[in-house]
Amino acid sequence: MGAKRQNSIINAVIFIFLEVAACLCLVGTGGLQDIWISRASHRTLGALWHWGENIRGYFSLGQENRALAEENTRLAQALRQYEGRRFAAEAGAIADTVTGSYTYTPATIVKMSRNTQHNYIILNKGRADGVSPHSGIIAANGVVGIVNAVDENFCYGITLQNVLTSVSARIGHTGAVAPMEWSGKRSNLAVLKNLPIHVEVAPGDTVWTSGFSNIFPPDIPLGLTGRTRQVDGAVNEVEVELFLDFSALRYVTIVENRDRKQIERLEGGAEEQ
């Protein structure tokens, strides 16, 4: 067996040597052989370069996606400021009181649960990035959750898909305001609660953040109204089909109201009186 294996190796080496020698001879004869070898080598090199570029592009996707997420954050912030000024001007208010106190920080989701009644999220931004507890977590088409705890480089929050989370929402830009909570039934279904019975809500109306909380800015789109039902004959509940697809989330924005602590101190002082 050893002799046969040795003979096989010798034969393979001789075969490779003869092939290389034949190629060298072809290169030296010029004419059609040179053209054929040149074309073959160019095709091979082209394929290798294309393969290398594909691999390089694949590994750079993460960096490009992060850059796009940061750009989306800047554009979303500019759009909300523009819309806030427009709505404030229509209402005769001062625009800066509506949009000027919020900061926006792009972040990447490290981990997020989706299959419990108390879902949570962990992001790759923390105290070192200026993030503090009670900041909002949003995406381009909805509210994601609220920051609960902050470490140096990470933060932990509860998502809208959590029975403990409530968001102040408005039907349309000028309609009724009510707390919106996750239904607990479907990932994209929420419920507007405690609406007065006399308030009529047409299916298909857009629901926005109201801006009445200390966490989220106004006019973030949340979803579309659906069925209305009475609860104990006293109030109405309205289903909301959320725009946000939690299963597709990867990049989010942490939004913080810079005036929140001052507002909370004022509220605390008023309660003590």
Task: Tokens for 93, please give them.
Answer: 């208010």
Q: For the segment 199-234, what is each residue's pLDDT rounded down to a tens digit?
A: 889 999 999 999 888 899 998 999 999 999 998 888
Torsion of CA 266, 268, 270, 273, to 10 degrees: -140
Domain membership flag for residue 151: yes
Q: How far out from the chain centre does Cα 68 lie?
A: 11
Residues 31 and 114 in one domain: no
Whether residues 139 and 155 share a domain: the answer is yes
Looking at the fold, whether 163 and 36 belong to one and the same domain comes out as: no
In a domain, 31, yes or no: yes
Within this chain, do residues 176 and 147 fall inside the same structural domain, yes or no? yes
Same-domain status, 174 and 54: no
The mean per-residue pLDDT over the stretch 138-154 comes to: 94
Distance of CA 166 to the CA centre of its chain: 20
| Residue written as token pair 């800066």 | 96
Check if the beta carbon of residue 80 is closer than 8 Å to that of residue 99.
yes
CATH number, domain of 148, equals 2.40.10.350
Residues 6 or more apart whose CB falls under 8 angstroms from that of 238 comprise 171, 178, 191, 192, 195, 201, 225, 226, 227, 228
Mean of pLDDT values over 42-60? 55
CB 180 within 8 A of CB 194: no
Whole-model pTM: value is: 0.66
Same domain, 117 and 191: yes
Instruction: Clarify whether residues 237 and 180 are in a common domain.
Output: yes
- Contact residues for 207 (Cβ-Cβ < 8 A; gap 6+): 169, 170, 171, 180, 192, 221, 222, 223, 224, 225, 240
Which residues have CB under 8 Å from 229's CB, separation 6+?
236, 237
**Selected residue with higher pLDDT from 154 and 91:** 154
Q: Are both 138 and 255 inside the same structural domain? A: yes
Instruction: Provide DSSP, 43-105.
Output: HHHHHHHHHHHHHHHHHTHHHHHHHHHHHHHHHHHHHHHHHHHHHHHHHT--THHHHTTEEEE
Is the predicted pLDDT of residue 93 greater than 60, yes or no?
Answer: no
Looking at the structure, do residues 43 and 107 belong to the same domain, yes or no?
A: no
What ranges in 126-223 are assigned the alpha helix state H? none
Residue 213, in any domain of the structure: yes
Domain count across the chain: 2
Same-domain status, 253 and 119: yes
Domain coverage including residue 33:
2-59
Q: Looking at the structure, do residues 50 and 68 belong to the same domain, yes or no?
A: no
Residues 50 and 92 in one domain: no
